[in-house]
Amino acid sequence: MSNINDNPIDTELEADIAQASGGETSDDGLGPIDALIAERDEWKDRALRAAAEADNTRRRAEGQMNDARAYAIQRFSKDLLGVADSLQRALTAAPRDHDAVATNLVTGLELIEKSLLSAFDANGLKRVAPEAGEVFDPHQHQAVMEQPSETVAGGTVIQTLQPGFALFGRTVRPAMVVVAARGSGPTAGNGPAGANPYDKADETGGQFDETA
């Protein structure tokens, strides 16, 4: 007599139960809940990466738009600087001790210059006019002359010959300045030459016109 366990139907049923029991564990050894958690974390990471990439794209687009805007008005700004220079020269040469008509004319020109500079400033065009003693900045200043000085240290500005302008932080025209030579200053004979801040300007490729 054959054993009841040899029944093909029972054997197939046992195989199905074993298969169902074994299916509760995924191929990587994780249970169903653990697999769902891992999948959730994966999608969450993807979403965070996508959000970060979208934010970076937005920032790049804003930067490119600002650059394009600045480039578009840079040439126009340079043309207006010529007008401002002419107005400044007219004020410099205008008589100051004549009749009331000349005085009123000079006053009117000064008001026009003030209004023009205010319009520049309101649109991001900033005036660059370093005072005596300020350190020479190769990114904003152009040295047209170098001479000894007993009042300011070497490598600093003695005088601004022509103001410069910067548009949204970018130099449109460098300020023309006179720079104190190495060894200048009240205590020039006591300090080491290596402490001269003008040395840093040379290293960064400052704008210096020796032929001026």
Residues 102-122 pLDDT 10s: 788 888 888 998 998 888 888
If one counts the domains in the chain, the total is 2
Does residue 172 share a domain with residue 104? no
The residue out of 104, 125, 146 marking a domain boundary is: 125
| Domain boundaries, position 100 | 78-125
The residue out of 99, 125, 151 marking a domain boundary is: 125
Q: Pull the structure tokens for residue 183.
A: 């060894």
**Amino acid symbol at 155:** G
Q: Please indicate, yes or no, if residue 8 is contained in any of the structural domains.
A: no
Q: Are strands 207-208 and 141-147 parallel, antiparallel or unpaired?
A: parallel
Does residue 139 share a domain with residue 107? no
Q: Please indicate, yes or no, if residue 58 is contained in any of the structural domains.
A: no
Q: Please indicate, yes or no, if residue 9 is contained in any of the structural domains.
A: no
pLDDT for the residue 195 = 46
Lowest mean pLDDT among 84-88, 91-95, 171-175: 91-95
pLDDT for the residue 54 = 92
Query: What's the rounded Cα separation, in Å, for the pair 177 and 158?
Result: 7
Q: Please indicate, yes or no, if residue 184 is contained in any of the structural domains.
A: yes
> Both ends of the chain: CA-CA distance in Å?
122
Average pLDDT over residues 79-85: 87
Question: Could you give the percent of the chain with pLDDT greater than 90?
Answer: 16
Does residue 163 share a domain with residue 194? yes
Query: What's the rounded Cα separation, in Å, for the pair 115 and 125?
Result: 13
CATH number of the domain at 138, please. 2.30.22.10
Task: Let me know how many helices (H) and strands (E) the chain has, helices first.
Answer: 4, 7
Q: Give the full edge-to-edge strand order of the sheet including 164-167.
A: 125-128, 164-167, 170-173
Query: What's the rounded Cα separation, in Å, for the pair 174 and 146?
Result: 16
Q: Are strands 164-167 and 125-128 parallel, antiparallel or unpaired?
A: antiparallel
pLDDT at 196 over 70: no
Distances (CA, A) of 161 to 88, 111, 122, 143, 164: 12, 22, 24, 10, 10
Distances (CA, A) of 111 to 62, 117, 150: 37, 10, 36
The residue out of 91, 125, 159 marking a domain boundary is: 125
Distances (CA, A) of 194 to 83, 108, 158, 183: 42, 49, 20, 10
Query: For all residues of the chain together, what is the average pLDDT?
Result: 77
Q: Please indicate, yes or no, if residue 57 is contained in any of the structural domains.
A: no
Does residue 145 share a domain with residue 111? no
Radius of gyration of the chain (CA): 38
pLDDT for the residue 204 = 42
Does residue 117 share a domain with residue 134? no
Q: Please indicate, yes or no, if residue 36 is contained in any of the structural domains.
A: no
